[in-house]
Copies of this chain bind each other. A is one copy, B any other.
Amino acid sequence: MNMPSNPSRNPWTLAARAAKMNPSVIRELLKLTEQPGIISFAGGLPSSKTFPVAEFQAACAKVLRDDAAAALQYAASEGYAPLRALVAQQLQEQSRAAGQIWEVDPAQIMITTGSQQGLDLVAKVLIDPGSRVLVESPTYLGATMAFTPMEPDLVGVAGNDHGLDLDDFQAKSKGARFLYVLPNFQNPTGRSMGEAGRAALSASAAALGVPLLEDNPYGDLWFDQAPPACLTARNPDGGIYLGSFSKVLAPGLRLGFVVAPKTVFPKLLQAKQAADLHSPGFNQRLIYEVMQNGFLDRHVPTIRSLYKAQRDAMLLALDTHFPSAQTDPEASLTWNTPAGGMFLWARLPAAMDATALLPHAVAKGVAFVPGAPFFTAQGDPRSLRLSFVTSSVEDIHRGVAALAACIQEQRNK
């Protein structure tokens, strides 16, 4: 054999799509905020107080006592059948309670490694290079991060306080592979779509032939009343629905699910098989055991009331420290009032820039996430996202005070 000897050159050639992958801007920013003593409104971490540890302890003991050989073995790519059936039943019940009949067949449900994996699988199955993919503007960064490797043409659809601007959606819909939408307590804005907005979007999408990719990680975290029925329930053949156990049980087990129409499900399943064979069967059984006997009906209300109290604390602190928000919004921080979820969306006084402000805020002991990276195109530099779920009520008050002092100081410079 004739071997050229140049072993020192770099033998790796990256795929073109790799050049489009970038480190999450937010993840880089979060490193800034991970210093001891910082009050962080930045991360989207559920409060660890809400994790049902005793129930997980009991579930681990039961599964390993009664079903270890199956729980620790390879398993079906679709997921653990009893969990799939339970999810189908819950979706049907929630939908019925919201006034919408949705017949969910467990055969349409696939358990995924977090709902993030649902985004990755959908991207693989539905996006060609250059495919038009519509997203809300702003939208969840993890979704654009999952779509980007498949090289879509991402197009932002304008939103308003109640959801999407339907005229903008219609204007941009031609040839779109799908619209990605978070109707409940959206990340990053905390906003929700009302019943009228959902009915109109569902009808418009069906008429235009644009499928919906509906992501609903926060829907159970409502504060005063349950949100209207989900979009997929209104037109199941035209939607893929992503759900998650991360916000109602625990993110560290990495389990979510996809509900897909029978035309798309087999391809998603093949993509799932190739991606990780199946999600951990042990974890699926833990979630299933913990959910027995209506546990979520007792547990989720405790999460709602905790987060509601923390949202209220943040609203009160904002009112206290930014008293001119109503009377002089260009000179003050302004914010919305989310009806659930984890995030509040705020806007700095005129001419300020949230990304530029962040290091000063961190120096004062408080962190947030600038809003601009959540937009597909040029984002509003004044916007920022505040999470109210990770910090205690006391820290929320101290953190908002520090933020107010920092904004004041920077405005006076």
For chain A, residues 90 to 146, give those with C-beta under 8 angstroms from any C-beta of chain B.
Answer: 112-114, 116-117, 119-120, 124-128, 131, 142, 145-146
Q: Per a CB cutoff under 8 Å, which of B22, B60, B246 touches A270?
A: B22
Tell whether, in the assembled complex, residue B16 and residue A149 are in contact, meaning their CB atoms are under 8 Å apart. no
Tell whether, in the assembled complex, residue B149 and residue A271 are in contact, meaning their CB atoms are under 8 Å apart. yes
For this chain, the copies found in one complex come to: 2
Interface presence of A398 (CB below 8 A)? no
Could you say which of A247-255, A352-360, A402-410 contacts chain B? A247-255
A290 to B118, CA, bound (A): 30
Tell whether, in the assembled complex, residue A275 and residue B120 are in contact, meaning their CB atoms are under 8 Å apart. yes
Chain B residues near A251 (CB, 8 Å)?
Answer: 72-74
Chain B residues near A112 (CB, 8 Å)?
Answer: 276
Tell whether, in the assembled complex, residue B280 and residue A124 are in contact, meaning their CB atoms are under 8 Å apart. no
Tell whether, in the assembled complex, residue B273 and residue A253 are in contact, meaning their CB atoms are under 8 Å apart. no
A210 to B10, CA, bound (A): 10
Interface presence of A207 (CB below 8 A)? yes
For chain A, residues 1 to 36, give those with C-beta under 8 angstroms from any C-beta of chain B.
Answer: 1-7, 9-18, 21-24, 27
Could you say which of A258-266, A293-301, A308-316 contacts chain B? A258-266
Distance in Å from the Cβ of A182 to the closest Cβ of chain B? Answer: 16
Interface presence of A57 (CB below 8 A)? yes
Interface presence of A340 (CB below 8 A)? no
For chain A, residues 208 to 262, give those with C-beta under 8 angstroms from any C-beta of chain B.
Answer: 208-211, 235, 237-238, 246, 250-254, 261
Tell whether, in the assembled complex, residue A23 and residue B116 are in contact, meaning their CB atoms are under 8 Å apart. no
Tell whether, in the assembled complex, residue A210 and residue B273 are in contact, meaning their CB atoms are under 8 Å apart. no
Q: Which partner residue on chain B sits nearest A13 by CB separation?
A: B177
Tell whether, in the assembled complex, residue B270 and residue A252 are in contact, meaning their CB atoms are under 8 Å apart. no
Interface presence of A375 (CB below 8 A)? no
Chain B residues near A5 (CB, 8 Å)?
Answer: 207
* Listed A/B pairs (17) with beta-carbon separation below 8 Å: A3-B204, A6-B209, A9-B209, A10-B263, A11-B209, A11-B238, A14-B125, A15-B131, A17-B124, A21-B270, A24-B273, A53-B68, A57-B65, A72-B251, A252-B281, A275-B275, A282-B283
A interface with B by C-beta (< 8 Å) = 1-7, 9-18, 21-24, 27, 43-46, 48, 51, 53, 56-57, 60-61, 64-65, 68-75, 112-114, 116-117, 119-120, 124-128, 131, 142, 145-146, 148-150, 166-167, 170, 177, 203-204, 206-211, 235, 237-238, 246, 250-254, 261, 263-264, 266-267, 270-271, 273-283
Extra A-B contacts (9), CB below 8 Å, given A12-B126, A48-B70, A113-B254: A7-B207, A16-B128, A17-B128, A21-B271, A46-B73, A60-B61, A113-B280, A149-B271, A254-B277
